[in-house]
A and B are shown apart, each in its own frame.
Chain A
Amino acid sequence: MNIEEYISSGILEQYALGELSQAEMAEVQELIEAHPQIKAELDLITSTLETLALKTAINPPTRLKNAIKAELDLEKEAKEIQLQQIKKEKSFSYAVAASISVAILASALAFFFYGQWRSAENQLEVLIAQNQEVADNYEFVNQQLKNLENDVDVLANPAYTRVAMSGTDNSPESLATVYWNANTEEVYLKIQNLRTLSQSEQYQLWAIVDGVPVDMGVFDSESNLLKMKSVGSAAAFAVTIEPRGGSENPSLQTMQVLGTTEV
């Protein structure tokens, strides 16, 4: 069992708030005894609930104290009286009554358990659905994590030169960064700020090699690190807006960002 998942499911809060059935409570108790970490978490939860109760306490009216004190003694006496009043009774129809009771009880139990079964079926369906949803979320997060790990590998690798491309007069706010490994010729792009384009347009990255713009691939405004085409030497990188699919030659008047590789 994954203890962290168990703790974050919120079941210990339900336990502490007294919301669980007897059977569920017994399960939680077993786990508490088996895992000190669960016990420690439950202690924190109950202590928090206790602290909240103390912090939001209200003084009862002073007269209540004596009333309660008096009643506590009365209660004691009442018990004794009750005890004396208990009498033994025997009856001829005892067996008849008992068998009728058993029949009624059995019917009631059958009906009760049928209801329990139905509700368990429903709960199971809900749980299966929830489980699927959790699994999907996990898969998604896992994928995100893998992407991020790849990103971090590139960002932290000293072989990559960081080329910051700042906004041109067309778009002074724009900002994007190229990570370029001259040895392996790999190029990655990270968008910091580029405006959203219409469906018919796409961004295109260019490398300036010996004064000539070389196509490095098209992209949409995404937040992840993008792998672009490879290039061995480049004096500068730039991004232009082109018709969807890209162009052979850059439309310089649409240039958004530009950065040179010289340090």
Chain B
Amino acid sequence: MRIQESELVRLLVSKDEKGFEYLYSNYSAALYGVISRVVTDQDIADELLQDAFLKIYNKIDSFDSSKGKLFTWMLNLSRNLAIDKLRSKEMSQRRKSEQVGDSVYKLDRETTSSPENAIGVRELLDQLDENQKQVMELVYFGGFTQAEAAEELSLPLGTVKTRVRSALIYFRKTLDVR
């Protein structure tokens, strides 16, 4: 069953159970993956996925479909929750890039349960050249902004942006995104 985005938003706003079921079965794993890679601790990730759903429901009124897609909105919302958590007092030890590298791969297909069509982070990132890979580990999977990644790697921001863009264009082609 496929529910149109506008219909899904309507179901979420009206707190219809169908909306929740659809949202959960289609997107919870993607959101959980994003959160888990940023915070790495499973208990915290569990808590954050709950927070993310609460926030989605609380803020769905302010979601504006003219400014972007629902899924992107939910991804950024979840990612931001995880990043905020990472920077909070409870987890104040900021990770260095090498640790991010480890944690990005720690949660891969072998160690976690993944939906059938998932590929796994390692297989994805191994397709990139070393430069793109290093930047994507931090930016996409590690929860760094591009500016933070530039600082962490002592690179000009423009270079980081170029690498992120070229990596995304590579995935656009290989994953056949349209």
Contact = CB atoms under 8 A, between A and B. Distances in A.
Interface of A: 8-10, 13-14, 16-19, 29, 44-61, 64-65, 67-69, 71-72, 75-76, 130
Contacts of A71: 50, 53-54
A46 B73 CA distance: 10
Is the contact region of chain B dominated by helix, strand, or loop, or is it mixed? helix
Contact of B124 (A13, A52, A59, A65): A52
B30 A53 contact: yes
A184 B29 CA distance: 72
Given A58-B33, A72-B54, A75-B57, A49 B72 contact: yes
A160 B178 CA distance: 47
Given A47-B177, A50-B75, A72-B57, A8 B165 contact: yes
Given A13-B168, A58-B112, 10 more contacts: A17-B139, A18-B76, A46-B69, A54-B117, A55-B119, A57-B32, A58-B33, A60-B46, A64-B28, A68-B49
B22 interface: no
A56 B119 CA distance: 6
CB-based closest 8 A-B pairs: A10-B161, A57-B29, A18-B76, A58-B33, A53-B30, A60-B32, A59-B113, A57-B30
B153 to A, nearest CB: 16
Nearest to A69: B20
Given A18-B79, A49-B72, A65 B24 contact: yes
Contacts of B164: 10, 13
18 contacts: A8-B165, A13-B161, A46-B69, A46-B72, A47-B172, A49-B72, A50-B30, A50-B75, A53-B75, A55-B118, A57-B32, A57-B114, A57-B118, A58-B33, A58-B36, A60-B46, A75-B57, A75-B58
B78 to A, nearest CB: 9
Contacts of A16: 68, 72
A19 B145 contact: yes
A230 B169 CA distance: 49
A71 B161 CA distance: 39
B67 interface: yes
Given A49-B72, A69-B20, A14 B161 contact: yes
Residue from the set A29, A46, A68, A71 with the largest chain B CB neighbour count within 10 Å: A68
Given A58-B36, A68-B53, A48 B175 contact: yes
A171 B124 CA distance: 47
Contacts of B34: 53, 56
Nearest to A50: B71
Residue from the set A29, A54, A76 with the largest chain B CB neighbour count within 10 Å: A54
Contacts of A55: 117-120, 124, 175
B11 interface: no
Given A44-B172, A57-B115, A52 B29 contact: no
A58 B121 CA distance: 11
A125 to B, nearest CB: 14
Contacts of B91: none
B68 A46 contact: yes
A59 B146 CA distance: 28
Interface in B135-162: 139-141, 145-147, 156, 158, 161-162
A60 B177 contact: no
Nearest to B75: A53
Residue from the set A46, A48, A52, A68 with the largest chain B CB neighbour count within 10 Å: A52
Contacts of A60: 28-29, 32, 46, 49
B95 interface: no
A58 B32 contact: yes
A67 B46 CA distance: 10
Given A52-B140, A64-B46, A65-B28, A13 B119 contact: no
Contacts of A47: 172, 177-178
A77 to B, nearest CB: 12
